[in-house]
Chain A
Amino acid sequence: MYRNFFYKHLRRAAVTTSVCFTALIVTPGTVAAHGFAGSRFFPATLSTDDPFVNDELSLPTVSSIVTPEEGGTRDTEISVDIAKRITPNLGIEVGESFINLKPRGERSVNGFGNLEVGAKYQFFENDEHETLLSVGGDVEVGGTGSKEVGADSFTTWAPALFFGKGFGDLPSELSFLKPLALTGLVGVAIPTSASSRTVTLNEATSQREIEIERHPDVLEWGFALEYSIIYLQEQVKDIGLRPPFDRLIPLVEVALETPLNRGEGGQTTGTINPGLIWSGKYFQIGAEAMVPINSRTGSDVGFIAQLHFYLDDLFPHSLGRPIFGGK
């Protein structure tokens, strides 16, 4: 297998990044979707999933990082993800990635990863405290991708809890910290196969060799800490920034995975991703560096970048509304 669990997580996160944003009927005839909790606007994060349910399209998400496999393999992915609200608080999502793997000193291989589908339900919102909670999960459908790029032949389920909290309720003495917000998730990826066997022929001995690869359950956890210039200028202090700088959201994301069993327990991998999001009327653009937290993850800094469309703003009267329950 070329791909490690960490990078699978990133791909899953990119899929579910599409699922964002609250959906509430606030006033008859109005909708309040997007990444809002009260007066807090949350952007869609790139590397960790956020708690919102919305109509969105990530087209594309591009990432590249060198993983330790095969002595150093550059893993480059281009992903497309779409999320759609069924009801104001329930959404589904579908994602697919095209993958290029380039082991050091060897030729590269290309192919599609497994199809990923998911759902999310937002069950709690407190506008005054800018707080949101959701539950959801993704399914990586085994056997739908290319073996050449390490797509699993088995399906993996990944239920998770998602949270979002803005700090606009801090006291006025700490007003310049009010633009801070935190989103994140805790989940477990559960493969439907505990291990897989690969049989190869040793040309030197003409004997068959059996390699057994174990697939542990994996704790997926991470968060995004962001400082919204939008919130600063709208709610705290107009510091005079004008377009496009008044729409920036600097952030740091931490995306981690910890195998829980099958001989790999505790071997955490992940990255710390400092970056920047610019949020416009109908889309946002984001880019982050990906700094490996340890040698198991990698040794070189990678990157992730995304163009993300707000379908609820682009198509407020059709595609951008919940199928049921939206007015």
Chain B
Amino acid sequence: MKRTILSLLLIVLAGLPRLEAHAFLKRAEPAVGSAVQTSPSEVRIWFTENIEPAFSTIQVFDASGKPVDKHDVHLDRSNRALLHVSLLPLTAGTYKVVWRVVSVDTHMTNGNFTFRIVR
């Protein structure tokens, strides 16, 4: 039995192609659930995998649901796992960041979080 298990394990590992996986949020600026004192100029999200920008979005909304981002989501020039979106000038309040990304192996993931601006 041990030999069978080891054989199966070796088959799995030997057959591995170049690996990518589901992209999870690694960290964000402003940080998930954080409170900041000044209006950030952009939201940046680092993911655990490289991102396919054509199918990936970040949207930011204020408490009334009004979009407050500049609709200019783009990959970082030096890091394909980092997405940016620019923000309009923000006042004090709670903002919701909604993201949906497709990793380069075509797996889709999504999520959302909030941050607050306190003065």
Contacts and interface: CB of A to CB of B under 8 A. Distances in A.
B32 interface: yes
B114 to A, nearest CB: 8
A26 B33 contact: no
Interface residues of B, number: 35
Contacts, number: 97
* Range for the number of chain A residues in contact with chain B: 35 or more
A233 B108 contact: no
A31 interface: yes
A234 B25 contact: yes
B4 interface: yes
B105 interface: yes
Which of B8, B107, B110 lies at the interface centre, i.e. has the most chain A CB atoms within 10 A of its CB?
Answer: B107
Given A59-B5, A309-B12, A30 B19 contact: no
A236 B33 CA distance: 6
Nearest to A279: B24
B41 interface: no
B32 A234 contact: yes
Which of A41, A172, A238, A315 lies at the interface centre, i.e. has the most chain B CB atoms within 10 A of its CB?
Answer: A238
Interface string A214-254: 00000000000000001001111110000000000000000
Interface string A256-288: 000000000000000000000000011000000
B65 interface: no
Contact of A234 (B1, B16, B24, B34): B24
Contacts of B113: 234-236
A246 to B, nearest CB: 8
Interface in B83-119: 102, 105-114
Given A59-B12, A310-B21, A313-B22, A32 B109 contact: yes
Interface in B23-78: 24-25, 27-28, 31-34, 48-49, 55
Interface string A293-327: 00000000000000001101111111000000000
A310 B1 CA distance: 22
Ordered nearest first, which 10 A-B pairs have the shortest CB separation? A237-B33, A313-B21, A39-B111, A281-B21, A238-B32, A98-B1, A316-B105, A32-B108, A234-B25, A238-B31
Interface of B: 1, 4-5, 8-9, 12, 15-17, 19-22, 24-25, 27-28, 31-34, 48-49, 55, 102, 105-114
Interface of A: 26-27, 29-34, 36, 38-39, 41, 57, 59-60, 78, 80, 98, 172, 175, 230, 233-238, 281-282, 309-310, 312-318
